Amino acid sequence: MSLSADSAPKLQAYAHPERLVTTDWLAEHLDDENLVVIESNEDVLLYRTGHIPGAHHVDWHLDLNDDVMRDYVSSEAFAAMCSARGITRDSTVVVYGDNFNWWAAYALWVFSLFGHPDVRLLDGGRAKWAAEGRPMTTDAPTVTPSQYPVVPRDDSTIRAFKEDVLQHIGNGPLVDVRSPGEFSGELLHMPDYPQEGVQRGGHVPTAQSVPWKRAANEDGSFKSADELRGIYEGELGMAPSDDVVTYCRIGERSSHTWFVLTYLLGFEHVRNYDGSWVEWGNAVRVPIEKPA
């Protein structure tokens, strides 16, 4: 059975408070039988330096992506990954990670592609847990492997492909969550990162720029529902019934914004374009907007 939702007051203003837990809630429920905690980081070795007691590691590179095709893992591989961590279809899965939960949100999004019913994010992620002086350990979690069912991956509801984005231009809001320099085409990559790997800079025509980080507080937690509404509904003029596509460079930062729009603001049709700029900026003859 799923665990009860976190009743912290801050969360109740969000559209789907049951998709988020506070560090207080997690600390209280760490020993609950039906809870599986997952850490997923940009730095794939970080988990080994210490993690929340009992938390399992999910490596975005090895566990979520297919090792040959540029795609997510198969239904069979996803089931095996979950089974090895003792996750059942009834488990409450709480995900957290480094870098403001970028990869945690990405992992949560991949779990959602497979329709895992109850997967939540830890508000503030690894940084907030550590900053509060809560326990971390290098002890490997004990696990009784489970039998996670082989379920189909639904790529049509929350995932957008290049062709979908082409169709979407002029038909609905596109949110580019990269840094302003990447949006303008001045940078091909995040600031201070190597500027290689993408042929062209700029953004998808009609896209609006809202860097992902605007949704986060400095401690890594999400801004309040009112603040978020002010940004996405106020400034951008989007409405929860809009068909929205988010993208970034490879789909991880845009998973963060996908989470915000879908679960914190209750937008009903948000798709994450995981091909993102690495695909778009390398594709032949797709339209690009770039200020002169």
At its nearest, how many Å lie between other proteins and the CB of residue 278?
A: 10
Q: DSSP secondary structure string, 149-170?
A: -------SSSEE-HHHHHHHTT
Bridging pattern class, strands 92-96 and 119-122: parallel
At its nearest, how many Å lie between other proteins and the CB of residue 28?
A: 26
Beta carbon nearer to other proteins, 163 or 192: 192
Task: List interacting residues with other proteins (CB under 8 A).
Answer: 42-46, 48-49, 59, 61-62, 67, 192-194, 196-197
Query: CA 194 from chain center: how many Å?
Result: 23
Cα–Cα distance, 88 to 83 (Å, whole number): 7
Is-catalytic flag, 248?
A: yes
At its nearest, how many Å lie between other proteins and the CB of residue 279?
A: 14
At its nearest, how many Å lie between other proteins and the CB of residue 83?
A: 17
Beta carbon nearer to other proteins, 128 or 229: 128
Catalytic residue among 37, 94, 248, 250: 248
CA-to-CA dists, residue 277 to 20, 48, 176, 222, 281, angstroms: 28, 31, 9, 25, 5
Query: CA 50 from chain center: how many Å?
Result: 22
Beta carbon nearer to other proteins, 8 or 130: 130
Cα–Cα distance, 84 to 290 (Å, whole number): 46
Q: What are phi and psi of 37, to 5 degrees?
A: -100, 135
Beta carbon nearer to other proteins, 41 or 272: 41
Beta carbon nearer to other proteins, 45 or 284: 45
- At residue 22, the 3 state secondary structure works out as coil
At its nearest, how many Å lie between other proteins and the CB of residue 207?
A: 22
Q: Which of 222, 183, 220 minimizes the C-alpha distance to 202?
A: 183
Cα–Cα distance, 21 to 19 (Å, whole number): 7
- DSSP 8-class letter at 72: B
The catalytic residues are 248
